[in-house]
Chain A
Amino acid sequence: MAGLSPSERRLQKELMSLMKEPPPGMEVDSDKAEQNLNLWTIHMKGAEGTLYDGEEFQLQFKFGPKYPFDSPEVTFVGNNIPVHPHVYSNGHICLSILTDDWSPALSVQSVCLSIVSMLSSCKEK
């Protein structure tokens, strides 16, 4: 893996782990991510027994050169944007770990899990 920046090395590692052990209901578009390591699409199913059960969403992750010291830019994209008080209709997500509370020890996986849990705790659309 010579020649990779620390940020690229870290992204490679995360991509492998996400492909090998994806969190339940999630799948990273690995072809796309391998083509451009700084732009990932993750397909996500609404968790069972929640308001989003049966729905499918797409999350886009954009990574800057300072990742993981800077947070990734994460938005919902595609035709189905979840209806949720913390998700704007243009796909922007209002979640503290994506801004102020981001830590380099978090990961794509922990962001995905936080988003699922944010959606799952919603009782009313």
Chain B
Amino acid sequence: MADDNIEPDQASFDKGYSEDANQVNQDDLILQQSKNIEKEISDSIMLVGDKEDIMVLEQQYIGDEVYKGKVKDLARKYSNLRRTRPDGNCFFRSFGFALLESLYHLEFNSFRLIAEKSKDKLLELGFQKFTLEDFHDQFMEVVNLISKPETNEDTLVEVFNNKDYSDYVVVYLRLIASGQLQQDADFYQNFIEGNRTVFEFCRQEVEPMFKESDHIHIIALSTALDVGVRVRYMDRGDSTEAIAHDFPEDKPPQIHLLYRPGHYDILYPL
């Protein structure tokens, strides 16, 4: 496990235990490096950006025929794009932002009811009350902004770039997804690879911040909140269009997201 030839780092470990201490120290270095990368990203990209013309995508793929074709196809269906920070939370943050924006036009009150009730369901599943409440309260505060006449797009962008709100929304949506997976554990178990239980999967891949999302997260969250999501997949595949997947399958889409390998942004239909 540890290499005996490496001297223990006396500065970090005053007692200077060799083997295990070295192991920890390597971990610290890796941790420091990934923190630096995180900082670079957070200094340069907003948590939720401004609306941009869909054609900005074309400039990103100059000389790439596959992607260019798909951008053209997207432009026939969507007018705008809104980028989010690629920090592993992009699905949940995009979903949260697009959902709240969509509530301007759709039934706000019925969603508020679902959001209110979601807390009781999570409590029944055994989530700790006082940590859950913090996230639920902050989430509801953001949801309720929509009903205020002075709230507009700029307000939402500002709120979603304030970590004291934005990250709370992300956590709460993660907990809702986790709750849905646990509630229907028998069903979701079929989609979990390896020997993990649904509960373990939730603890390791859904509830922690910065863990990336897969189909299973999207299905769980959209089902729990009864919100249809259309994801447009833009990848190296042969198709000439960015293929659409709807979650849950039979639900008309209320939000549209663009997926490029490893990342989600928000799309606005024409």
Contacts and interface: CB of A to CB of B under 8 A. Distances in A.
A69 B167 contact: yes
Contact of A17 (B130, B167, B208): B130
B128 interface: yes
A90 B128 contact: no
Contact of B204 (A6, A13, A101): A101
B203 A101 contact: yes
A9 to B, nearest CB: 8
Given A6-B164, A106-B131, A107-B131, A89 B15 contact: yes
Given A6-B164, A105-B171, A90 B13 contact: yes
Interface residues of B, number: 26
B21 A88 contact: yes
B132 A104 contact: no
A105 B209 contact: no
B21 A10 contact: no
Interface in B165-193: 167, 171, 174-175
Of the candidates B31, B130, B131, B207, the one having the most CB atoms from chain A within 10 angstroms of its own CB is B131
Given A102-B208, A107-B128, A92 B24 contact: yes
Nearest to A16: B130
A90 B13 CA distance: 8
Interface string B119-130: 000000001101
Interface residues of A, number: 24
Interface string A12-26: 011001000000000
A68 interface: yes
Given A88-B24, A96-B204, A10 B17 contact: no
B88 to A, nearest CB: 12
Contacts of A97: 203
A6 B132 CA distance: 14
B85 to A, nearest CB: 14
Given A88-B17, A88-B20, A105 B164 contact: no
B207 A103 contact: yes
A101 B208 contact: yes
Interface string A95-113: 0110111111111011000
Nearest to B24: A92
B21 A105 contact: no
A55 to B, nearest CB: 20
Given A68-B131, A69-B167, A103 B20 contact: no
A105 B128 contact: yes
Interface string A55-90: 000000000000011000000000000000000111
A85 to B, nearest CB: 10
Nearest to B128: A107
A97 B127 CA distance: 16
Interface of B: 13, 15, 17, 20-21, 24, 27, 31, 127-128, 130-132, 134-135, 163-164, 167, 171, 174-175, 203-204, 207-209
9 smallest CB-CB distances across A and B, nearest first, come from A103-B207, A88-B20, A103-B208, A105-B131, A104-B171, A89-B17, A101-B204, A90-B15, A107-B131
21 contacts: A13-B130, A88-B24, A89-B15, A90-B13, A90-B15, A90-B20, A90-B21, A92-B21, A92-B24, A96-B204, A99-B27, A99-B31, A100-B204, A101-B204, A102-B208, A103-B171, A105-B127, A105-B175, A105-B207, A107-B128, A107-B131
Given A99-B31, A100-B204, A104-B131, 10 more contacts: A10-B134, A88-B17, A90-B15, A92-B20, A96-B204, A104-B171, A105-B128, A105-B132, A106-B128, A110-B128
